[in-house]
Amino acid sequence: MKGGLLEPKTAKAIPTNEPAGSKKNNEIQETVSLNNLETDLSNQAHHALPKDAVHELDCLGLRWDGNTLIVGAPEESWPAVEKLAVSLNIKIKLVAATAAEIREAVSLTETIDNTKDASINLPATEAGEAPISHLVQQILDRAVLERASDLHFETYKDKAVVRVRIDGRLRTLAELPARLAPGISSRIKVLAQMNIVERRRPQDGQFTTTVGDRQIDIRVASVATVFGEKLVLRLLDGRRPSVDLESLGMGKVQLDAFTKMISANNGLVLVAGPTGSGKTTTLHSALRAVAVSYKNVVTIEDPVEYVVPGITQIPVLESNNSGFAVQLRAVLRQDPDIILVGETRDAETARISVQAALTGHMVFTSIHATDSVGALYRLLQMDIEPHLVASSVRGVVSQRLIRKNCRFCVAPYKPSAQELVTLEFYGFEAKTLNRGVGCTLCGGSGYRDRIAAYQILPITESMTELIVSRPDPHIFRRHAMEAGMTTMDHEAIRLASEGITTLEEALTLMVSND
C-alpha cells in the first residue's frame, strides 16, 4: 500500500493465552468454540493499534474506511492518538467515545481472541466439574460483554445450543455436543440454588456473577423439553443508569403530554407493552422527573432493576406470599406521595392501585397490553368499574423497542423510491436517511442499543365520559386518533426520518390497530 499505511489484512491478531489442555487416560481433548457473531470483523480493525496504547489511551480501531482507520477514543485522548497514528504511519479518523465504552469493547475483543480457538479437556463419558464451570463462566462473560439481555441454553437431539439476545435479536453464540447439556444445566442450577435432581418441573432461581468491575444479577428459569431442560437467564446490570425523559425518544408533542400527565398531584399512569419493551426504563425516567426531596417515593418491583438513591425500593417476594398486592397495601400505610408498582398482574393489585390514585396518591404502573387503548380495557376486564377507571387514570403510554443506528459508524444515504413512498405515506419527508455500516463497537451489525416508539394517550374530559359508557374499543380508538393520538408505527417512521434508526428497522414494528 502506498505511504506504508497498515492495511486491514496485515493487522496482527492478539495471540491467545488460553491453555490448550492435555489428554488423560479416559479423557478426550474436545474443542469448544464460541461463535464470533458479528463481532469478529473480517477487517480486524481492533488489532490495528498496539495493545499497550489501546489500554493506556482508551482507544480502539472501529473499522476501516478504505485506507483510513476509524478510531474511537475520548476527546481528551485525541492528541495522543494522532501522534500514535503518525508514528505508525496510519491514516486515521477519530470519533468520540467514552472511556467506559472503549474499555467494554476492548474486553470483548480480547475475550473473543482468547476463546475462539480455546480447547477444553472434557471426559469422554461425563463432563468434569472444573471444565463445565469454566465453560459456563466463559459463556456468561461473553454474553455480558456482548450487551446481551438474555441467555438461552437449549437442548436438542444431537447438540446443545447457546443463544444470546442482543438489542432484541437472538443470535447463536455456540453449538456444543449434546452430552454436555446435563452438566451445563446442573452447573447453572447449582449457582441459582435450584434443585438439580428435579428435571421435569419448571423452576426459578437467581445468582450474582462479576464480569470485570460489573456485578450482574441473573434470573434463571428452567423448563423440561423433549430432549432435556431449557434454561433462560435474564441478565440485569445493576450499574445501568436510568434515562432522562428527553432521551426516551418521544416527539415534542408526546413528551409535553407525558410530562403533564406524570406531573399531576394524584392519579394513575399506565405504561403498556410486552415483556422486554422497556416499560421499566420509562417508569423510572418518569419517577426521576417528578421525585423531589419533600416527597416520599416508594417502588414495588420484581426485580429491582434500577437502584435509585433517596427512594425506598421494595422487592416482591412471591415465595414469602409478599406479592404486589400485599406490598402495595403495606406501602399505603407508609405515608407515600408517589408509588411505582412494577406490574399490575391481577385484579386485586389493579383495584388497590386505582383506590390509591383516587385517595390522593400518584401511582405509576406497567401493564401488559397491545396498545394504549387496550391498556384501559385491561382494567375494565379486571372488573374495575368504568367510573373508577375514568376518575383515576391520567394517561396511558404504550411502547415497543427498535434498534438504534450505531452512532460510531452511522452514515447518510439517499433513500430509494420505495422508501420515499413509505415516508410520504406516513407524512414525512427526508432527502437522506441514516444507517450504520458496522464497526467494532456495534459488532458489525450497524446497530447499538435500542429506543422506544411510543403511543401517548392523555385522558381528556371527553374521553372520561366515553370510558364511563364503556364503548367498543374500536370506537374509543377512533376517538383517540381524532383527538391527536398517533400510532407506534408512525413514531417509528419518525425516528427513521430523523436518522435515529433505519427505515427497515422501523417497518418491523407494524403493531398499530387502527
Average pLDDT, the chain: 86
What kind of architecture, by CATH, is found in domain 126-238? Answer: 2-Layer Sandwich (3.30)
Look at strands 433-436 and 410-413 and give their pairing. Answer: antiparallel
Span 452-475, average pLDDT: 93
Q: What is the pLDDT of residues 259-273, one digit of tens each?
A: 999 999 999 999 999
| Nearest-angstrom CA–CA distance, 456 and 451 | 15
pLDDT band per the 50, 70, 90 thresholds, residue 1? very low
Instruction: Quote the cell numbers at residue 281.
Output: 426504563
pLDDT tier at 130, thresholds 50, 70, 90: low
The tens digit of pLDDT for each residue in 337-368 reads 999 999 999 999 999 999 999 999 999 999 99
457-471: buried (b, 16+ CB within 10 Å) or exposed (e) per residue?
bbbeeebeebbeeee
Instruction: List the single range of 129-143, 173-187, 196-210 with lowest mean pLDDT.
Output: 129-143
The answer to whether 399 and 272 are in contact (CB under 8 A) is yes
Q: What is the pLDDT of residue 215?
A: 87
Q: Does domain 1-21+37-114 have CATH number 3.30.300.160?
A: yes
Angle between the 324-331 and 347-358 helix axes, to the nearest 10 degrees? 20
Q: List, by residue range, all CATH 3.30.450.90 domains of the chain.
A: 126-238
Mean pLDDT score, 182-186: 94
Q: What whole-number percentage of the chain has pLDDT above 70? A: 86
Residue 73, CB half-sphere, CA atoms under 13 Å: how many?
27
Q: In whole angstroms, what is the distance from residue 473 CA to residue 159 CA?
A: 47
Query: Rounded CA gap, 320 and 316, in Å?
Result: 9
Residues counted in the chain: 514
| Residue range 245-401+450-485, CATH number | 3.40.50.300
Longest alpha-carbon distance in the chain: 80
Three cell numbers at 204?
426459578
Are 221 and 202 in contact, with CB atoms under 8 Å apart? yes
Quick one: what percent of the chain has pLDDT higher than 90?
Answer: 70
Quick one: pLDDT band at residue 118, thresholds 50, 70, 90? very low
pLDDT computed for residue 395 by the predictor:
96
The pLDDT assigned to 319 comes to 62
How far lies 207's CA from each of 142, 188, 241, 304, in Å?
Answer: 17, 9, 21, 14
Query: Is the confidence at residue 31, as pLDDT, over 60?
Result: no
Distance CA 341, CA 189 (A): 30
Helix/strand/coil for 290: helix
CA distance 444 to 69: 15
3-state DSSP assignment of residue 57: helix
Question: Can you say whether residue 37 is alpha, beta or left, with left for phi > 0 and alpha for psi between -120 and 50 degrees?
Answer: left
- The answer to whether 77 and 59 are in contact (CB under 8 A) is yes
The whole-number pLDDT of residue 90 equals 93
Strands (E), 437-514: 447-458
- 286-299 per-position pLDDT tens digit: 999 999 889 999 99
Q: What is the pLDDT of residue 22?
A: 40
**Confidence (pLDDT) at 317:** 75
Most confident of 26-40, 242-256, 312-326, 354-368: 354-368
Calpha distance 234→217 (Å, rounded):
8
Q: What is the pTM of this model?
A: 0.84
Instruction: Give the pLDDT score at 242.
Output: 72
Mean pLDDT value across residues 151-178: 94
Show the beta-strand stretches assigned E in 156-225: 159-166, 169-177, 203-211, 214-225
Place of cell 366515553: 466
**In the chain, which segments carry CATH 3.40.50.300?**
245-401+450-485
What pLDDT is attached to residue 12?
34
3-state SS string over 70-137? EEEECHHHHHHHHHHHHHHCCEEEEEECCHHHHHHHHHHHHHHHHHCCCEEEEECCCCCHHHHHHHHH
**Amino acid symbol at 10:** T
Mean pLDDT, range 50-62, rounded to an integer: 95
Q: Give 3-state DSSP helix, strand, coil % of the chain, rounded to 5.
A: 35, 30, 35
pLDDT at 370 over 80: yes
Residues 10 and 48 sit within 8 Å (Cβ to Cβ): no
d(CA 77, CA 96): 10
Give the residue range(s) of CATH 3.30.300.160 domains in the chain: 1-21+37-114
Please, which pLDDT band fits residue 492 given cuts at 50, 70 and 90? very high
